[in-house]
Structure 1
């Protein structure tokens, strides 16, 4: 069962990160087009309307989309100053503590993002230029945040399994 869940969680983390990468690439293209449009206004070109709004929303999604994969591959920054002194059991215990802490952070971030989204939705707040309802950007970020929670909880399971001698 562990292998099936591991494969599914790994696939989900990679898929969300790839979508985040595609969004990031689209944002780069949009910014280039917008800057070119600003530079060539005398020739009749224009910048992309609402480019800053789209960039803010897209970046928020991309950042949250990359968090699950980073957690899955243990890519977050860590200090390995005392790693050699702890031995393998101590290091596995340290991995468990770090994964538990990250799971708590992921749950709190997702919870607060959810509450923020509900707040924006209840006030019908929109962006200034494009008039996009802001809660929709929060909803996109929630895709990454909820995936981050799932992956973080799986990583806790993975660390418990490794600590108990089951490998991982």
Structure 2
């Protein structure tokens, strides 16, 4: 089961990484286009090569229309896509100054409670994201410039959020079993050795 969950989490992170990379390329192209457009509209190009400047502007050199809408939707998906891997590898930030002084049993109890809380929050987020997606689907809201249905972005994020919730519930169950049996099922380097 752990191999499947890890593969699922890594797959979502890889998809999130591809989306994030494409968003970076899109942003760089849009910024470059914006700078070039300003350059071609400038006095220097108007005096040196006005026909070339007009031609470049005419073919559409400039910022990418609606780039921020795509970035907004894509980053939301990427965040949710990275959550499962962060959850299964205990990659969340933690401050362990006080926890390191706890007994092994108390540390396992705290980890169990933390994982169950994370699972609950992830399930809540997925549930509310699903409700938001249905609301956007029914009211027909579209983005301002590109006019794509807003529910598309919600549905992509919902898929990643559901995977994060599944992984969160799985890790909550694993940490509960670890607490009840006193055995470490998934070693992730966070456990204490005292």
**Count of matched residue positions in the alignment of Structure 1 and Structure 2:** 164
Given that residues 105 and 182 in structure 2 are in contact (C-alpha distance below 8 angstroms), is that contact kept between their aligned partners in structure 1?
no
- Offset of 1:32 from its aligned partner? 0.4
Deviation digits for residues 14-57 of structure 1, max 9, x if unmatched? 10011001100100000000001011112421211210100000
- Does 1:32 find its partner at 2:48? no
Secondary structure of the corresponding residue to residue 63 of structure 1: helix
> What is aligned with 1:22?
18
Is the counterpart of residue 121 in structure 1 residue 137 in structure 2?
yes
* Partner Cα distance (2:75, 2:99) in 1: 35
1:167 to 180, 184, 189: 184
| RMSD (Å), alpha carbons | 1.0
Tell me whether 57-66 or 84-93 shows the greater mean CA deviation.
Answer: 84-93
Kept after mapping to 1: 8 A contact 2:119/2:165: yes
Q: After the TM superposition, which of the residue ranges 157-166 and 66-75 deviates more from structure 2?
A: 157-166
Q: Is the 8 A contact 2:30 2:62 kept in 1?
A: yes
Partner Cα separation in structure 2 for residue 160 and residue 128 of structure 1: 47
Question: Equivalents in 2 of 1:83, 1:52: separation in Å?
Answer: 42
- Per-residue Cα deviation, 1:83-139 (whole angstroms, up to 9, x for no partner): 232121111111000001001100111111011111111110001111110000000
What TM-score, normalized by structure 1, do the two folds share? 0.94
- CA deviations 1:49-74 (Å, max 9, x no partner) are 21010000000000110111101101
Q: Residue 66 of structure 1: which of 82, 85, 102 is its match?
A: 82
| One of 150, 153, 166 as aligned partner of 1:137 | 153
Paired residues of 2:10 and 2:85 also in contact (CA < 8 A): yes
Q: Assess if the C-alpha contact under 8 Å between 2:112 and 2:176 holds in 1.
A: yes
Bigger Rg over Cα: 2
Work out the CA distance in 2 between the residues paired with 1:144 and 1:80.
29
In structure 2, distance between residues paired with 1:161 and 1:8: 18
4+ long deviations beyond 2 Å: none
2:93 match: 77
Q: Aligned partners of 1:30 and 1:85: how far apart in 2? A: 48
- Aligned with 1:94 (options 98, 110, 114): 110
